[in-house]
């Protein structure tokens, strides 16, 4: 994790110098696993930390303003922007990994809420769908605080929960995103047992089915330290990406999240909210 922490410190130093970029996404840093770590249950204070996070987790979705919604789909609204190019770089990194190992489904998560995982998932899916003859599906796997439908302006009649409970077919739940070649599987109803549904054999079979239909499936998952859902999904996807927010996500939170998740399935880290001078990049 040394590369991640170095990037966080660099971003903080740039922000202190008054960088000009309003938002940015770094290419993923590879997560080394050179030194073993004790199981998370043996780490001092870990259980109490998780308990505190669970108590503080919001129970209801919080409404987003127009600026926040637009930021989540910047690759659609401004496909030539610097930020969109960073997502293309992330796509290229994943394509490179896919040439070495099976990589049809990727879960995006974060340690805590509001670190930019949905923004990363939506924009990565949008730029991935720009590829010629490439089929991409974006799945909203947050059955508690779904945001994909809001970010993309969708009004689903049914969604993931209805498919998992056999109340609707997959074909009926998948929605085409206007103006793109991207398909989305949003959330319509929020069930009373989200973790159990995501851990079910039906969910595993569903992911296997969509992975056969699409060249890439991107899963937007809940935060890792607040709920068990991200761990469940990271274990059935081909790999996961951890979204880290500069000047916000602490080293302790990153370590705790990777203790919960299987480090061997980590594809990399997206450093979100970096401040830098856009004039130094591009033409």
Q: Are 143 and 197 in contact (CB under 8 A)?
A: yes
Tell me the residue ranges of DSSP E strands in the chain. 105-110, 136-140, 175-176, 183-185, 216-220, 239-245, 266-272
CA atoms of 130 and 178, how far apart (whole Å): 13
CA atoms of 135 and 40, how far apart (whole Å): 38
The stretches in the chain having pLDDT less than 70 are 1-82, 276-283
Residues facing 271 on adjacent strands:
244
Give the pLDDT score at 273. Answer: 83
First to last CA, the chain: 32
pLDDT (tens digit, 9 = 90+) per residue, 25-63? 334 434 333 334 444 444 444 444 444 443 344 434 445
pLDDT (tens digit, 9 = 90+) per residue, 233-254? 999 999 999 999 988 999 999 9
Cα–Cα distances in angstroms (integers) from residue 120 to residues 46, 163, 245, in the given order: 27, 25, 11
CA atoms of 233 and 219, how far apart (whole Å): 8
List, in order of start, the domains of the chain with CATH numbers. 2-30+65-277 (3.40.50.300)
């Amino acid at each position: 994790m040394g590369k991640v922490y170095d990037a966080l410190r660099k971003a903080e130093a740039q922000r202190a110098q008054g960088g000009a970029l309003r938002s940015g996404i770094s290419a993923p840093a590879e997560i080394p696993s050179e030194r073993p770590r004790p199981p998370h249950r043996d780490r001092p204070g870990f259980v109490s930390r998780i308990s505190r996070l669970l108590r503080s987790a919001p129970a209801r979705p919080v409404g987003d303003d127009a600026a926040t919604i637009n930021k989540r789909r910047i690759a659609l609204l401004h496909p030539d922007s610097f930020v969109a190019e960073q997502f293309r770089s992330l796509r290229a990194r994943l394509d490179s990994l896919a040439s070495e190992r099976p990589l049809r489904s990727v879960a995006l998560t974060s340690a805590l809420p509001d670190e930019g995982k949905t923004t990363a998932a939506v924009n990565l899916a949008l730029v991935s769908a720009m590829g010629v003859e490439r089929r991409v599906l974006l799945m909203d796997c947050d059955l508690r605080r779904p945001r994909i439908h809001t970010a993309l302006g969708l009004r689903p009649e049914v969604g993931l929960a209805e498919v998992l409970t056999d109340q609707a077919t997959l074909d009926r739940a998948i929605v085409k995103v206007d103006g793109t070649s991207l398909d989305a599987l949003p959330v319509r109803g929020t069930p009373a047992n989200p973790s159990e549904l995501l851990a079910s054999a039906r969910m595993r079979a569903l992911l296997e089915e969509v992975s056969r239909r699409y060249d890439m499936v991107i899963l937007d998952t809940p935060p890792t330290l607040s709920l068990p859902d991200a761990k469940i999904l990271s274990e059935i996807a081909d790999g996961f990406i951890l979204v880290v927010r500069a000047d916000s996500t602490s080293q302790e939170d990153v370590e705790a999240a990777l203790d919960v998740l299987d480090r061997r399935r980590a594809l990399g880290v997206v450093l979100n909210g970096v401040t830098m001078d856009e004039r130094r990049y591009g033409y």
